[in-house]
Each structure stands twice: as structure tokens, then as C-alpha cells.
């Protein structure tokens, strides 16, 4: 067979984003962990972004109205017009969105509570190099609810066993890295957090469970539809958290967590 008769091998298609909800006004997707929402000069080498991938997938422009950190998975909403983007942004400013997260954290979280702990604005050395660094700490409030615990027969630090908790979280404010910083303040850092977490436990999860992501997932979002006013309840998958839940003997059915958050977010 001659070289001229060989057909070129087609490039592998990018995996499609999972669409959780779509109508003529907005679309919600289940953002994978490790994927940037939009292009950023903080990571110039990244080539795949939720914003561009969704535009290509739908064949139309989409407009971001909020964001998730790169390592966080879960519900992410885009408007399909600038007008709807403005309405959704106004809802966020008015505190009309209710967000529910799941996180696996170090240690045993014994009781539910609300952490009201102001946070200094975190500035990026490149993106925020012209921003003021002397701003006062901003109000930051997070509700938390312990759901499950596990004790593993491994000495990760100075104790003969290691204990972890699955917690439900509701941020009542929207500060940068708020959940990660608040859990670290409570001495229960989120597993996989390379900025505010515990390196020994992060390494243990990589080696023992092949888990190298931040174990934080935005599983639930409630908001009024910007046109009809009907309450939308958007629900993401548990992603990689599901496999860990099974190994730890925790519920891995999203319906269980949907019921949890219906009560928790009221």
C-alpha cells in the first residue's frame, strides 16, 4: 500500500460536557474537576475551557455569570444572552442563589454550625498586581453539616489511624476560595487542597485511592428562573467522590444527597 493511499487518522473528539438543564434562556453543565471556566493568562498552556467547549457544543454564544475554581467540579450556569446574564448576576448580588457543596475533609466534624469568619481578599501575583493589598477583610459566612465519618487503619501523621468526614456546605457569601479557607480555619482542611490543605493526607489519598483532585463538588444549586420565576433545582453528579463514598461505606446515590440538601438549604 502506497503512502498516498493512507487516510489521515482523525483527531480524537473532545468529550462533551454534561448538560444538566437547558432552555432558550440559560444552560447549566456539570463542570469536570481540573477544567478552567475560561481562558486565563494564569495558565497560558491550557487549551480546553468550559466556556469555549460549551460554545462549540451548542453552536452559539454563552455568557458566564459565576465561576467554580479549576479543581472544583459541579453545577455551572451560563446565560444564552447578555440580558439574561445581567438578570442572573442581579440574582447573585441579591443573594437569591442557594448553593450546596459536598467535601471530604480531614478529621471528624462532630456538629453542624455556621462559620462567620471574614477573609482578606486573595490577590493573584499576575492578575491582581495593580490591585490594592491593604483592603480590610471581607465578610464571609459558611454553613456546614457533617454527614458521614470514616476511620482508616493508616498512620498518615502522628496518630495510628486516620479519620475523615463528608460534610455538606452552603456558602452564604462568595469570597475567593471561601470554602477551602473556612474549612482550613476549622482545622478540617478539604482533602486534595494543595493551597490550604494537609500535604500528608493529600499524598495518602493519591497513593492509596489514586485520588489527586480537590474533593469538593458543587452538587446542588437552587435559583429562580430569570424569566418565569419558577425555582430551578440543578443537580450535578458526585463525580469522583462517588467511588470514595463506596469505599468508605457512605451513600453514593445522588438522590440521597438531593434529599439532604433540600432540607439543608431551606
Q: Which residues are catalytic?
A: 69
CA distance 3 to 6: 5
Task: Round to whole Å and give the CA distance between 17 and 232.
Answer: 20
C-alpha grid cell, residue 135: 483592603
Question: Which among 144, 234, 233 has a CA at the least distance from the CA of 187?
Answer: 144
3-class secondary structure, 68: coil
Burial class (CB in 10 A: 0-12, 13-18, 19+), 89: middle
Joined together, the cell numbers standing for residue 125 give: 501575583
Q: In whole angstroms, give the CA distance from residue 211 to residue 250.
A: 17
Report, in angstroms and rounded to the nearest whole number, the Rg of the chain calculated over CA atoms. 20
d(CA 173, CA 143): 10
What span, in angstroms and rounded, lies between the C-alpha atoms of 189 and 105?
5
8 Å CB contact between 106 and 189? yes
Q: Pairing state of beta strands 162-171 and 216-224?
A: unpaired
Amino acid at each position: 500500500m502506497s503512502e498516498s493511499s493512507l487516510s489521515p487518522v482523525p483527531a480524537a473528539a473532545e468529550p462533551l460536557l454534561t448538560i444538566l438543564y437547558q432552555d432558550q434562556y440559560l444552560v447549566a453543565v456539570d463542570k469536570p474537576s481540573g477544567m478552567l471556566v475560561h481562558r486565563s493568562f494564569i495558565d497560558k498552556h491550557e487549551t480546553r475551557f468550559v466556556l469555549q467547549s460549551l460554545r462549540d457544543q451548542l453552536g452559539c454564544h454563552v455568557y458566564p455569570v459565576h465561576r467554580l475554581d479549576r479543581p472544583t467540579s459541579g453545577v455551572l450556569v451560563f446565560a444564552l444572552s447578555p440580558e439574561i446574564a445581567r438578570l442572573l448576576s442581579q440574582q447573585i448580588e441579591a443573594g437569591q442563589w442557594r448553593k450546596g457543596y459536598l467535601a471530604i475533609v480531614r478529621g471528624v466534624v462532630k456538629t453542624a454550625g455556621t462559620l462567620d469568619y471574614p477573609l482578606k481578599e486573595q490577590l493573584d501575583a499576575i492578575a491582581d498586581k495593580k490591585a490594592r493589598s491593604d483592603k480590610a477583610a471581607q465578610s464571609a459566612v459558611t454553613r456546614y453539616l457533617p454527614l458521614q465519618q470514616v476511620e482508616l487503619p493508616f498512620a498518615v501523621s502522628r496518630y495510628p489511624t486516620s479519620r475523615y468526614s463528608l460534610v455538606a456546605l452552603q456558602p452564604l457569601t462568595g469570597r475567593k476560595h471561601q470554602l477551602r479557607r473556612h474549612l482550613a480555619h476549622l482545622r478540617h482542611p478539604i482533602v486534595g487542597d494543595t493551597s490550604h490543605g494537609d500535604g500528608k493526607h493529600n499524598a495518602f489519598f493519591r497513593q492509596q485511592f489514586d485520588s489527586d483532585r480537590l474533593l469538593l463538588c458543587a452538587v446542588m444549586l437552587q435559583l429562580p428562573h430569570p424569566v418565569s420565576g419558577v425555582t430551578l433545582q440543578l443537580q450535578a453528579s458526585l463525580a469522583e467522590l462517588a467511588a470514595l463514598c463506596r469505599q468508605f461505606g457512605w451513600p453514593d446515590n445522588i438522590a440521597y444527597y438531593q434529599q439532604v440538601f433540600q432540607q439543608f438549604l431551606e
